[in-house]
Structure 1
Amino acid sequence: MMRLGSLGGLALAALLAAGPALAQQKVLRIAMTAADVPTTSGAPNNGFEGVRFLGYPSFEGLVLWDLSRADRPATLRPGLAERYEQDPADPKTWVFHLRRGVKFHDGAEFNADAVIWTLDRFWKNDSPQFDPAGSGIARARIPILASYRKIDDFTVSITTTRVASYFPYMAVYILMISPQSFEQGGRDWAKVAALPPAGTGPFRLSRFTPRVSAELSKNEGYWDQARVPKLDRVLLLPIPEANSRLAALRSGQVDWVEVPPPDAIPSLKQAGFQVVTNSYPHVWPWFYQMGGNTSPFRDIRVRQGLNYCVDRAGLVQLLNGTAEPSVGWLKPSDPNFGNPQNRYAFDPARGRAMLAEAGFTAQRPLRFKVMISASGSGQMLPLPMNEYMQQNLKEACGVEVSFEVTEWNTLLTAVRQAPDAPILNGSTSVNPSSPSSDPAVAARYFLQAFVPPNGFNWGQWNDPQFEEAFAALEVARDEATFNAAYARAHERLVDNPPWLYIVHDLNPRAMSRRVRGFVSAQSWFQDLVTVDLQ
């Protein structure tokens, strides 16, 4: 892990290397929480922070997020497909009508052949462009893709393994790159990433220095001229340690930091920095493993009891109000939260009683290990937060928790493994944060069909009532039916909890007073197009 001094020096060197003209341009410098620069190949790693900064600004999908508003959860909008619909004769098939006149950053034309080429990259193992690393990420996020075909030069169809009303929410993660970039990189994805490759987005990847920085430049020829960026360049820097990000902001090395230390927020505001927060669909939990041979979480009383042992308000206070208590996958204010029987609150007596019913007492305390990361996308401040959880559970309910601390990408790899995989080193719980933005995410995390390696149901959770409600959601053709089924499904996520629900993040970031025009969307992803520097 790099220290601030060396990273700051390298960042300044990168800026100087771009030439004297850079000083006259609007260059936004962002400190990410990632420990490394996410991959630049159009299939970014480092979780959704990678997609936020090294995905959507440069690479686009057939469907895009609408990140234009701060007053409601983000919805979808047409992207490289100007419209799309379910085939009325076959609801497993979606037809995408492609936007005409779009070009990749390298001048190549975007059309149906480019879409099929990209899909082959991720789903056709014997294609020349098959990308094993990118395929693993794509298949985990879109586990229901079955087949696809070109209908004509500007129409493609994609067929799923099951009827899925939410498929457009998965299609947003299939990012298109120019096939010409693959040829230019000698048909070697590592070399393609170093080019960097061409997408269709409002920014183009213009420079990449491994482990140091990535640079985005304005795409003057962007297909939507109303959305040409105001910034000339964006410099992305991995600074995983929160206090180092804070020092970089205070010293003027960066203009924008993700997740500032909560205890520094009052002094940042006093010094004139902007601190931006907003409610957004994201949950910071511990996953329970129910499939392992030695897991205590097979017993629902343990899973429910622990949810009554957490002092969430105390953790929110530790985070200086940059989070809110989580008592389910969705927030209680969400219309699809439903009416579960359990309303989790800090009730140690009830938690201890439920653990005692399951056989865990002061004489025989519940003990388990949680795999956590030191930093990472959406992980907030995982070390102090998990230390708080460890002390809270010990004092409130006599639970003894130990940790397996690892790197973020290692944790992401672990949650795609079997319950007793060696990489877990005895952990029966894991702590990756999760978006809770739409049912497509819920499908990957909670349906029995998506236990690893098919998806993210790491805990091997299986609830027949959830499956039944979700099946109704998948085939719903009207909003009322969809929402009613979603609420029934979510009630099961609360009453038969696959996770220990802890907090919802409020997505804090701190910025220089020079940053203008940022809209804090209620989404994991954010729009850099509207951002300006004064």
Structure 2
Amino acid sequence: MFGFKRKNLSTLALVGVLACSATLVTHSALAADLKIGLSADVSSLDPHYLNIAPNVAFSSHIFDALVNVDANGKLVPGLATSWRAVDATTWEFKLRRGVKFHDGSDFTADDVIFSLDRPAKLTNSPGPFTAYTKQIVAKKIVDPYTVRLTTAAPYGPLTLDMSAVFIVSKKVAEKASTDDFNSGKALIGTGPYKFTSFKRGDRIEVARNEHYWGGKSDWDKVTFRIITNSAPRLAALLSGDVDAIEGVPTADLSRLKNNAKFSFAQKISWRTIFWELDQSAGPSRYVTDKAGKPLPKNPLADVRVRQAISKAINRQALVERTMEGLAVPASNIVSPGVFGYNDALKVEAYDPEGAKKLLAQAGYPNGFALTIHGPNDRYINDEQVVQTVAQFLNRIGIQTKVETLPLSVYFAKARAGEFSVSLLGWGTLAGDFGLRTLVGTPNAETGWGSWNWGKYSNPAVDKLIASSLASVDQGKREAFAKDAAALALKDYAVVPLHHQYATWALRKGLKYTARTDEFTFAHQFHPE
């Protein structure tokens, strides 16, 4: 058994809470208010500031994009009712008429152009949205409800990009700062809810937009409770303080399933959990000899060392024990079913002896010392995952320490290149889309590699990704994407761990359609 500490309630305490659950406050199926327990902090309300899932999920309540994504990851109309390729480099979007911003002003093409320009102006963004806008070299307003976007070269997934950029009000946002969004002053969108209040690290409250173009929500008011620790989040559900939670604690799922007062929504998600490894040639900050002395060169820059790390990890044990069955071992950067998933890639076999031989071949027969980093409040059992992998690495002679941090601190440091080995979870609806961001050679001008923490670079991989992105033939495009993934993973550009399941627990009387993208949308909860 692995010696990690659980963050869940003790078994006795949980049994006690479950026994008392008969005294839960009874909710009417027609309740006007909805309270949701979120598993990750919302660090910014500016929809263009930090491209991480908790922020994007919340922004979807206040703002809309041109293109929306349904529960199965398919593109559907949003603020654009239709789109078409005018030619190989030009896309035309027809905008929805009659849409109003929360302040009553009309939504027009001017707001679209402004919103597509804004991400590049946020030069202090720790997680920019520019990967979705850099391909656009020209924007044209044909009329107030038609825009044309031109790319420098043929670019297949532009419509997917447009699902990731929220449309803000030009009138409100052109003089607004990120602080104005965080205060609520600039939170004027076209989405299903209007902003009410934000208490950082605690809760966000929104009210129903009575004039939403997509139809009224069932809820007059929604409170998002930010409860990053699993035990109190579960306790909030059991006590009736919240009506639903995301990120159900794995150890408690089976017990909850036996309680008739709750129901579940579950689906394998788009999210792959993997390791980013610093591949720079010089010394790496958290790699030393076993006495703590910095090494003159970085072992992680050697593909044999990266392969050894991969072989050292028993993914099946990780999934069964640490993840308690709420994941499947990963062989790809993208999840099964996602465009570009390569079935020919197989999960790395657990081979500690082979890993030791690879370390010896690379010149490290006695291993070295390493500190690995991860968040402790973002992914399912993230801290335990880091601890478990550290134990695997210790067994092959890599003396491994663990440091985990809150998401709000962790991402900024990881993106700044401060760590040698760092845990990342990424979800995407297209393989080439994700490869461009995660393993493409970093380039601030093109937006490639914006989440390539390890600074991996392979011109052959870049060429395949570019060929995929430029293909209008979907069959050829996917073939290029699969080849790019195979080559990048042959290099161990990243080390995949698992694809996690997304699980929601709800009080009786509620229903929710589980989403591939893991997002929790209040307007998609309904009374039964």
Normalised TM-score (structure 1)? 0.83
Aligned to 1:110: 107
Question: What is the CA–CA distance in structure 2 between the aligned matches of 1:274 and 1:217, rounded to whole Å?
Answer: 25
Q: Verify: 1:532 aligned to 2:521, yes or no.
A: no
Deviating more after overlay: 449-458 vs 247-256: 449-458
Corresponding position of 1:428: 420
Q: Which residue of 2 aligns with 1:14?
A: none
1:527 Cα shift? 4.3
> Could you tell me how far apart the structure 2 residues matched to 1:350 and 1:160 are?
47
How much has 1:460 moved relative to structure 2? 1.7
Looking at structure 1, the residues matched to 479 and 525 of structure 2 have their Cα atoms a distance apart, in angstroms, of 38
Q: What residue number does 2:150 align with?
A: 159
Matches within 5 A, 1:173-192: 173-182=164-173, 187-192=176-181
Output the CA distance in 1 between the equivalents of 2:232 and 2:254. Answer: 17
CA positional deviation for 1:257 = 1.7
Q: Determine whether 1:466 maps to 2:458.
A: no
In structure 2, the residue matched to 1:441 is 434
1:102 partner amino acid: V
Report matched runs for 1:81-160 at 5 Å: 81-88=80-87, 91-123=88-120, 125=121, 131-132=122-123, 137-140=128-131, 142-160=133-151
Q: Which residue of the partner structure matches residue 52 of structure 2?
A: 47
Which SS does the other structure have where 1:240 is aligned? coil
Task: Select which of 219, 225, 236 maps to 1:237.
Answer: 225
1:149-228 paired onto structure 2 within 5 Å: 149-182=140-173, 187-195=176-184, 197-225=187-215, 228=216
**Match of 2:402?**
403
Q: Which residue of 2 aligns with 1:313?
A: 316
What are the superposed Cα offsets for residues 446-468 of structure 1, whole Å, 9 maximum, x if unpaired?
Answer: 11144798612221212233223
2:210 and 2:250 mapped to 1: Cα distance?
A: 38
Q: Tell me: CA distance 1:47–1:233, structure 2 relative to 1, closer, same or farther (3 Å).
A: same
2:330–2:347 contact (8 Å) kept in structure 1 = no
* Whole-Å separation in 2 of the counterparts to 1:112 and 1:344: 49
Q: In structure 2, how many angstroms separate the alpha carbons of the residues matched to 1:132 and 1:449?
A: 16
Contact 2:313–2:393 under 8 Å retained in 1: yes
Name whichever of 478-487 and 202-211 sits farther off. 202-211
Contact 2:50 2:129 (8 Å CA) reproduced = no
CA contact (8 A) 1:412 1:432 kept: no
- Tell me if structure 1 keeps the 8 A contact 2:30–2:527: no
Q: Equivalences for 1:343-358 in 2 at 5 Å?
A: 343-358=347-362
SS at match of 1:286: strand
- Return 5+ residue gaps in structure 1 as ranges: 5-21, 126-130
- Asked whether the equivalents of residues 37 and 225 of structure 2 are also in contact (C-alpha less than 8 Å), the reply is yes
**Contact 2:277–2:454 (8 Å) recurs in 1:** yes
Distance across 2 between alignment mates of 1:501 and 1:401: 19
Q: Is the 8 A contact 1:122 1:135 kept in 2?
A: no
Q: Distance in 1 between matches of 2:251 and 2:364?
A: 36
Q: Between Structure 1 and Structure 2, how many residues are aligned?
A: 482
For the 8 Å contact 2:48–2:118, the answer to whether it is kept is no
Give distance in 1, aligned partners of 2:337 and 2:76.
24
C-alpha deviation, 1:182, in angstroms: 4.0
Q: Which residue type is aligned with residue 515 of structure 2?
A: A
Compared with structure 1, are the counterparts of its residues 220 and 411 closer, same or farther at alpha carbon in structure 2 (3 Å cutoff)?
same
Residue 298 in structure 1 maps to residue 301 in structure 2: yes
Q: Distance in 2 between matches of 1:416 and 1:162?
A: 29
- Contact residue 269 and residue 335 of structure 2 kept, 8 A: no
1:10 alignment partner in structure 2: none
Counterpart residue number, 2:287: none
Partner of 2:16: none
Cα offsets for 1:254-281 (capped at 9, x unmatched): 1222212211112211223224321121
Q: For 1:82 and 1:331, how far apart are their aligned partners in 2?
A: 29
148 and 134 in structure 1: CA distance in 2 versus 1, 3 angstrom threshold: farther
Distance 1:308 1:118, change over 3 A: same
**1:31 corresponding residue in structure 2:** 37
Alignment correspondent of 2:413: 414
How far, CA to CA, are the matches of 1:192 and 1:342 in structure 2? 45
Please say which of residues 99-108 and 204-213 is displaced more in the overlay: 204-213
Q: Deviations over 1:315-354 (max 9, x none)?
A: 1122221111112213466674436576512122222222
Alpha-carbon offset, residue 135 of structure 1: 9.1
Q: Quote how far apart the aligned CAs of 1:435 are.
A: 0.9
AA aligned to 1:152 is: D
Task: Give the equivalent residue in structure 2 for 1:506.
Answer: 501
**For 2:495, what is the secondary structure of its paired residue?**
strand
What is the CA distance between 1:507 and its match in structure 2?
1.2
Distance 2:257 2:222 in 1: 24
CA distance in 1, matches of 2:117, 2:345: 46
Q: Is contact 1:181–1:192 with CA below 8 Å preserved after alignment?
A: no
SS class of match (2:69)? strand
CA distance in 1, matches of 2:81, 2:526: 28
Residue in 1 that maps onto 2:3? none
Shift in alpha-carbon separation, 1:133–1:247, aligned structure 2, 3 A:
farther
Identify the residue that residue 75 of structure 2 maps to in structure 1.
Answer: 76
User: Distance in 1 between the 2:124 and 2:39 partners?
Assistant: 22
Offset, 1:387 = 0.9
Decide whether the 8 Å contact of 2:277 with 2:420 is kept in 1.
yes
Deviation of 1:173 (Å): 1.8
Distance 1:160 1:312, change over 3 A: same
Instruction: Provide the rounded CA distance (Å) in 2 between the counterparts of 1:232 and 1:527.
Output: 14
Partner of 1:370: 372
Q: Structure 1 residue 57: deviation in Å?
A: 2.1
Distance, in Å, in 2 between the alignment partners of 1:480 and 1:161 is 22
| CA shift in 2, pair 1:23/1:406, >3 Å | same
In the other structure, the counterpart of 1:385 is 385
Name the CA shift for 1:367/1:87 in 2 (closer, same or farther; >3 Å): farther
Amino acid at match of 1:223: W
Q: Check the 8 A contact 1:472/1:482 in 2, yes or no.
A: yes
Match of 1:128 in 2: none
* 1:268-307 → structure 2 map (5 Å cutoff): 268-272=256-260, 273-294=262-283, 295-307=298-310
DSSP 3-state at the match of 2:61: coil
Q: How does 1:481-492 map to 2 (within 5 A)?
A: 481-492=476-487
The answer to whether the 8 Å contact 1:33/1:258 transfers is: yes
Q: What letter is aligned with 1:428? A: S
How many angstroms apart in 2 are the aligned matches of 1:331 and 1:149? 36
Of 252, 265, 274, which residue of structure 1 is paired with 2:240?
252
Residues in 2 aligned to 1:77 and 1:119: alpha-carbon distance in whole angstroms? 19
Equivalent residue in structure 2 for 1:359, among 363, 368, 372: 363
Identity %: 23
* Cα separation, partners in 2 of 1:344 and 1:451, compared to 1, 3 Å: farther
TM-score, length of structure 2 as denominator length: 0.83
Q: Aligned with 1:280: secondary structure?
A: strand
